[in-house]
Amino acid sequence: MFQTEQQIIEANIKTFCTANGIPLAALEWKPIPFSGEWGFSTSFFGTAAAEARLGKKVVVAQRAQEIAEQVKRQIDVPGLSHIEAVKGYLNLYFDTREYTRRVVDTVLEQKNCFGSGPATGQRVMIEFSQPNTHKAFHVGHLRGTILGDAICRILEFAGNDVVRANYPGDMGMHVIKWLWGYLKFHNGEEPATDITRWMGEVYAEAAHRIEENPDLEAELRSLYARWDQRDPEIVALWERTREWSLEGFRQMYAALDVHFDVYYFNSQEEKPGKEMVEELVRRGIATDERAQGGAVIVKIDEVLGLDKEQFRTAVVLRSDGTALYATEDLALALHKFRDYPDLAKSVYVVDVRQSLHFTQVFKILEIAGHAQAQKCSHVSYELVTLPGNVVISSREGTVVLLEDLLREATTRARAEAHKKNPSLTEAQLENVAKAVGLGALKYPILARENTKMVTFDWQTALDFNGQAAPYIQYAHVRCNSILRKAGGLPDVGRSTFDYELNPAEIQLIDMISRFPGEVQRAAAEYKPLAIASIAYDIAKTFAGFYDACPVMQAEPQVRAARLRLVAATRQTLANSLALLGITAPEVM
RNA sequence: GCCCCUGUAGCUCAACGGACAGAGCACCUGCCUUCUAAGCAGUAGGUUGUGGGUUCGAAUCCCGCCAGGGGCGCCA
């Protein structure tokens, strides 16, 4: 927001250093840790160290301070209140009123675009969620879905053209197991209300029976073969039951406020995948060991002539000729680029256990000469486990179903909302319960490094206090409440902060001004955590402001300025929550 | 054996190579005739797993070690 001033100052510093033979190191500007005023700074440690390396006898910290002091005397830029040289840092403080005005006016002008980046002209596909049909949809799947959705929202806001892709696993050993179990124990049954739950139960039962009696695996293999030959009876059953699952997913996504632009299905990639494998064999990249009872494999390290085990060996087709996920992922990767030839990036948001799989798939594509491979990347995330490091497993039955979690969260949120604010109408209660319940669910997942495990427990998931979505939503509600009581914003074109600002106000401005930078960082690193953090920081700072700075009862001029600040805060909170897929309610 | 991730306050987690490592929870002390107390202020809590190295400066980068988790030819 002060780029012009920064550039002038940078030029000043360079001129001075050149004139005095000082080997200026690269200048890096950072915000000054808050001390009651807003400003930004750069240090001269690097420059002093460079002098030392050139043989000059200096104590680096001392010399850095010396340079900072000299430079300080060279700078004369309007808009700055004062400049200081401290501990080797050059601190530039803005005219606080001017800065505040700029920030607030920018937010109010740009509204729901505040923080967004300029269009990059890049189309990016994000594949995420990937639920398996014929299985339960549980909290383990929640992370990939929530994370992928947030990444899409952030990348879009940062200026990219995002394609949201889903890739349900609608065929594979798990589906065969389900069909087997259905035919054997539930033939003719149809799901009633809880579709996904019922699908999950049928699967768990089948998996269990097969585990108890491994001899039954022969039946599975023969069923898989019937599918592979497209036995009409099996295909028809598969189509009907698959639709049950997909309907369940649609309901789940609607409840989560997540949508997709395109669906790919692994069943559709079987044939093209097999063809690709054939070609790999013809070209000598893949080795067909089926004659010896083996599978079709790609010895990647050997193909690349590597001594160390790095990419290892990938199985790309089962010994019986049926397709694996690897088979299908090879085809899908190219399929995406046929559908969207201008894709700049093709991103896969999938849990960390599949890291080697994607490394192998992308590497094989590269070896086969497909340039698209360079544009493919895997964004991995850690698992959601249950207390005691118990992995959530449909087979073990250690699942917390998403629908149960959602119901519990909204019920709790509703009760809480009613308790805190009995004046809410039924319709309002409904909205608040949905917004708060869902937000409480999403926030803890997004406010965590992708590489860190999340342990699910009901207490934490349903804790609405402290560093959580409801706290941020509440800050938004408070902003809204003030603005509602004030009857909107005063009719002025721009803000005038013509009074001595309270430190809490300045701190709030500081946080708001950081939002656009955090959007860029979150997008560049696929890191919703950056948004989750800044949203919380803004809410926290606003709470301090709310306590320290009366708005309604302030003198007219102060009141007008603060109302605009409150409006800017509300907007920024709403924008940041939107990036997390969390609703910002009007009342709570 | 090879590869990846994690290790920061009692617990759960932040911190883009920079100033005093910060929040929340839990604990303790205050604050609702004043814009919604889902809130605020304060107290307390740290050899950043460990040993080296790079750097003016390391929780952050590099190497070794320890501990936990995950992945390593026909699951997805």
The reported pLDDT for the residue numbered A93 is 86
Contact at 8 Å (CB) between A185 and A238? no
Name beta bridge partners: A126.
A164, A347
A471 touches strand B (CB under 7 A): yes
Query: pLDDT band for position A524 (50/70/90)?
Result: very high
The reported pLDDT for the residue numbered A204 is 87
Does residue A192 carry a pLDDT above 70?
yes
Residues (27-56, chain A) with CB within 7 Å of strand B atoms: 28, 30, 32-33, 35, 41, 43, 45-46, 48-49, 52-53
Nucleotide nearest to A424 (CA to C1'): B36
A70 touches strand B (CB under 7 A): no
Distance A405 CA to B72 C1' (A): 35
Does residue A484 carry a pLDDT above 90?
yes
CA dist., res. A367 & res. A280, Å (int): 10
Nearest protein residue to nucleotide B35 (CA to C1' distance) is: A482
Mapped onto helix, strand or coil, the DSSP state of residue A230 is coil
Residues (375-434, chain A) with CB within 7 Å of strand B atoms: 382, 389, 391, 413, 416-417, 420-421, 432
Q: b/e per residue, A412-436, with b = 16+ CB within 10 A? A: bbbebbeeeeeebeeebbebbbbbb
Bases in strand B with any atom closer than 7 Å to a protein CB? 1-7, 12-16, 18-20, 23-26, 34-41, 55-57, 68-76
CA dist., res. A28 & res. A96, Å (int): 22
Query: For A94-139, what is each residue's pLDDT tens digit?
Result: 888 888 898 999 999 999 999 999 999 999 999 999 999 999 888 7
DSSP states of A74-116 as a string?
H---TTEEEEEEETTEEEEEE-HHHHHHHHHHHHHHHGGGTTP
CA dist., res. A182 & res. A198, Å (int): 11
Structure tokens of A352?
């960390």
- Report the share of chain A in percent with pLDDT over 70: 97
| Mean pLDDT of the residues in chain A | 91
CA dist., res. A253 & res. A1, Å (int): 38
Contact at 8 Å (CB) between A385 and A391? yes
A324 touches strand B (CB under 7 A): yes
Edge-to-edge strand list for the sheet holding A287-288:
A287-288, A296-299, A313-317
Q: Closest by alpha carbon to A115, among A575, A524, A540, A447?
A: A575
A540 touches strand B (CB under 7 A): yes
A203 touches strand B (CB under 7 A): no
Distance A250 CA to B17 C1' (A): 46
Distance A461 CA to B28 C1' (A): 27
CA dist., res. A497 & res. A32, Å (int): 22
A72 touches strand B (CB under 7 A): no
pTM metric for this prediction = 0.93
Beta strands in A330-447 (DSSP E): 343-351, 376-381, 384-386, 390-391
Nearest protein residue to nucleotide B72 (CA to C1' distance) is: A312
Residue A18: how many CB atoms within 10 A of its CB?
A: 11
A344 touches strand B (CB under 7 A): no
Query: For A293-305, what is each residue's pLDDT tens digit?
Result: 999 999 999 999 9
Distance A521 CA to B15 C1' (A): 15
Question: Mean of the pLDDT values across residues A225-240?
Answer: 94
Residues (216-255, chain A) with CB within 7 Å of strand B atoms: none
Residue for token pair 């675009």: A113
Question: Mean of the pLDDT values across residues A492-507?
Answer: 84
Contact at 8 Å (CB) between A23 and A14? no
Nearest protein residue to nucleotide B4 (CA to C1' distance) is: A355
CA dist., res. A472 & res. A540, Å (int): 8
Query: For A398-451, what is each residue's pLDDT tens digit?
Result: 677 888 888 988 999 999 999 999 999 999 999 999 999 999 889 999 999 999
Helix (H) or strand (E) holding A324: none
Task: Provide, for chain A, the percentages of residues in helix, strand and coil under a 3-state DSSP scheme, each rounded to the nearest 5.
Answer: 60, 10, 30
CA-to-CA separations, A526 to A210, A261, A451, in angstroms, rounded: 40, 19, 12
**Pairwise pLDDT comparison (A500 vs A265), residue with the higher score:** A265
CA dist., res. A373 & res. A350, Å (int): 17
Residues (136-165, chain A) with CB within 7 Å of strand B atoms: none
Structural domains of chain A sorted by starting position, each given as residue range(s) with its CATH number in brackets: 3-94 (3.30.1360.70), 265-400 (3.40.50.620), 403-579 (1.10.730.10)
Distance A441 CA to B26 C1' (A): 22
